Structures are given as structure tokens and as C-alpha cells.
Amino acid sequence: MAGEETLVSSVAGRYAAALFDLAREADAIAAVKADLDRFDSLVAESPDLTRLVRSPVFSTQEQLQALGAMLDRAGIGGLAAKFILLVTRNRRLFAVRNMVKAFHQLVADYRGQATAEVTVAEPLKDEHGAALKSALKAVSGKDIDLSVKIDPAIIGGVVVKLGSRMVDSSLRTKLNAIRHAMKEAR
């Protein structure tokens, strides 16, 4: 409950909640989510677009012009495009990625889902992914969507973050604990 209050009380949360309400009324949640995902991945992949979104140096008009062309080229339209342009006009474009994240959280809550951020040293086999989803569903009571990140630096094991809970059973963490215990033993 406290997490929901924090989400809605932030600027990103208020914008995301408003967009979610509009998308739900228009029965367009899936379309808006897909367009926002496309926009978010474009921003993540392009340093120039990231700079345009985050930098206060660009005027509102410059941002609107550039984003309008980019949205057309990317095929992002409807409610999502109107939302992104509104955010730009209101000089809140710097927070748009947090708004997308908050929108995702609202959609997941609405659908009774939760996203677990999983970090592993190498790609999960299908049966391990299914077992992890099943275990997390038993704990949370929600359908689980896994967001898997590969990080060879953890050496082995898994780090799982589900909501505000995190379990780190990576080999790197265990080795660091052993190293720390051995230093104290001296």
C-alpha cells in the first residue's frame, strides 16, 4: 500500500495514473503500453534521443518538433503520442521514462501481475525459468513476468527482485561474505 501511495504522489506517478485512466476508458491499455514500450526502447538505444529527452537546454518547441517527427517515423500514435507531446509541452519530458515505468506498474497491478527482475550469470533454461516463475507466484500470489538480465560478474546463482523484496544468492555475494569473514578472523 505504501508503495502505491509513493507511486501516485510522484510527478511520474500522477502522469502515469492519468494516462492509465484514459487508456482504460478508451479500452486501449495494450496499445498504449506497446507504444510506450517502443518509445522507451528508442530512448534507451539512442544517446541523441536520450539527450533530447533529459537535457533542459532544448526548448519546448525544439523537443516537440523532434519528437513529433520521431513518433511519426516510429509509428507511435494515438493516446501514447498525445501523452508524450503533452509531457513535452508541460516541460516534464525529463521524467518520461519514469512515467513509462509507473504506467507498467499500474498495468501489472490492474492485470494481477508482478514483474520480477532476475539477474543470472548465463541465460536461464526454459525449465528453470518456469520453476522460478512458479516459486515466485506461490510467494506473491500474482502471475509473474520475468525480466531477465545477464551479468557474468555474479559468477553463478541468481539475484531476484520482486517489488520491494530482494534475494541475492549469487556466488559473488557468497564469496564476498566469505572474504569478509576471513578478514575478521585474522
Q: Averaged in consecutive runs of 10 residues, what is the pLDDT profile of the chain (186 residues)?
A: 52 95 96 96 94 93 95 96 96 94 91 92 94 94 91 94 92 93 86
The three cell numbers of residue 36 are: 510506450
Domain 2-108: give its CATH architecture.
Answer: Orthogonal Bundle (1.10)
pTM for the model stands at 0.72
Q: What is the pLDDT of residue 164?
A: 85
Domain ranges of the chain: 2-108, 113-185
Say which residues have a Cβ less than 8 Å from residue 112's Cβ, sequence separation at least 6: 142, 143
The three cell numbers of residue 26 are: 478508451
Class of domain 113-185: alpha beta
Residue 52: name the closest of 36, 69, 38 by CA. 69
